[in-house]
Structure 1
Amino acid sequence: MSIVKIDKKITGYSIQKELPERAPAVTSVAPAVEPVVEPEIEHMHENVGRPEMLLGSTYKIKTPLSDHALYITINDIILNPGTDHEARRPFEIFINSKNMDHFQWVVALTRVISAVFRKGGDVTFLAEELKAVFDPQGGYFKSGGRFMPSLVAEIGMAIESHLKMIGMLVDEELSAIQKQILAEKREEYETEKGTKSAEGEFPESAQLCMKCYTKAMILMDGCMTCLSCGNSKCG
């Protein structure tokens, strides 16, 4: 305790009150913010369990080789539903028909294709592989002049159509200008030959296009051109 010496005359005095204790300074602490954990993106793989309900699409195949049609059903699974990563992927395939001649290999084919679907990854190669199968006894033409090299190839076409429908394949459609040019070539060809084909059909004298397997290849201006897909021998 320090001593204070007073040199002047004391004229008055008062008792000093004790100062109130200062409250400790309050430091505001922001609550801890938990990091947002993004849900893991689910991809198709062989361990994905089959849900109770799957979305399915059925495709009818009618060939001149049989009196009975084939019905191809492809069921899809929805991955990451309700998120930005939602995706529809094929999960299984079934082929049914009253014709029992092909029962054995049809069952084997559906099991193999379904296994590939559930394996995940890029399964679009299946369509191309099946479309490349040729029947040694010869294929057949469908309405509109479309040639099918085999029944297996038509199953591949159905799978390809389904993959395009769910967005796994992009349909390479002709532009409006290309369609207009092909329509003009077709009209000029028919005028020159003096024939008129029905709507949706191609000229009877047209040859088979080996790109789209449609009987729509005609000779115009010294160049073979397909009226269906635009494929041309002249580039």
Structure 2
Amino acid sequence: MTISINKKITGYAVVTESEHKELTQQSADIHLLGEPLSRPDKLVGNTYKIKTPASEHALYITINDILMNEGTAQEHRRPFEIFINSKNMEHFQWIVALTRVMSAVFRKGGDITFLVEELQSVFDPKGGYFKKGGKYTPSLVAEIGEVLQEHLHEIGMLKRNEPEAHQRAFMEAKRKEYTEQQNTSGSHTASGFPEGSQLCTKCSTKAVIIMDNCLTCLNCGDSKCS
């Protein structure tokens, strides 16, 4: 490559071979995220079935894992590849593209947990939908992100962020108290939360009620008064 110098040269320095090697190594250390993983002949994994209003047919998501540091105290599983299969061909193009990109990220090594948040933050311009249990899902891509999150929970790459036992007991008590106050013991939705519950901005579940003049989520415990 030819470089044109339009200004007067006021000085120069020669880089030695050792300095060149050091600079090259520093550059590699900065840009290299991890050693790419090679595929073994056999992998273990899980297959998840999801059925959403966004697709006429169910989607089957298979995530295969590679076993790292086998036979040592640091033995663990990490995702290596992902496949999505369905009878519905409407989303075929972008699903194939998405799974190939995700598999490439898996194989690159390093931290891949960021994919969960990236996928779950995708919103469908046509609008999302509510899943069984009253949880709002903004898009089909976001639901794929939820499946990945569940898989990472199962193999130990992500910790479950669930209320502790005393928090669950408190929420159950609040739910019972609310039902008794409203005198609507039978007025619960299919999700098990009182009818008229609002959508929680933290866990995206229709489980927010007004208790003691305060908005409280009976699913995750989030409260505007805490």
- With structure 1 as the length reference, what TM-score do the two structures score? 0.78
Aligned pairs for 1:195-210 within 5 A: 195=184, 196=186, 197=188, 200-210=191-201
Tell me how far 1:127 sits from its aligned partner. Answer: 0.5
How much is the aligned-residue C-alpha RMSD, in angstroms? 1.5
> In the alignment, residue 51 of structure 1 is paired with which amino acid?
P
Q: Identify which of 114, 119, 123 aligns with 1:130.
A: 119
Counterpart amino acid of residue 206 in structure 2: K
Matched, 1:220 2:211: yes
How far the C-alpha of 1:68 sits from its partner, in A, is 0.3
Q: What amino acid is aligned across from residue 173 of structure 2 in structure 1?
A: E
Deviations 1:66-106 (A, max 9, x none): 22001110000001111112121100000111110000000
AA partner of residue 212 (structure 2): D
Q: Match for residue 222 of structure 2?
A: 231
Correspondence 1:120 to 2:109: yes
3-state DSSP of counterpart to 2:95 = helix
Q: How does 1:79-228 map to 2 (within 5 A)?
A: 79-195=68-184, 196=186, 197=188, 200-228=191-219
Instruction: Report how far residue 45 of structure 1 moved.
Output: 4.5
Q: Secondary structure at the match of 2:96?
A: helix
Judging changes above 3 Å, is the alpha-carbon distance between structure 1 residues 105 and 199 closer, same or farther for their aligned structure 2 residues? closer
Residue 46 of structure 2 is aligned to residue 57 of structure 1: yes
Kept in 2, the 8 Å contact 1:59–1:158? The answer is: yes
Identity %: 63
Q: How far does residue 48 in structure 1 lie from its aligned partner after superposition?
A: 2.2
> CA offsets, 1:12-50, max 9 Å, x none?
xxxxxxxxxxxxxxxxxxxxxxxxxxxxxxxx9453211
Counterpart residue type for residue 128 of structure 1 = E
- CA distance in 2 between counterparts of 1:66 and 1:88 reads 31
**Which structure has the larger Rg?**
1
CA contact (8 A) 1:45 1:118 kept: no
Aligned residues: 192
Is this contact kept in 1: 2:38–2:107, CA < 8 A? no
| Larger proportion of helix | 2
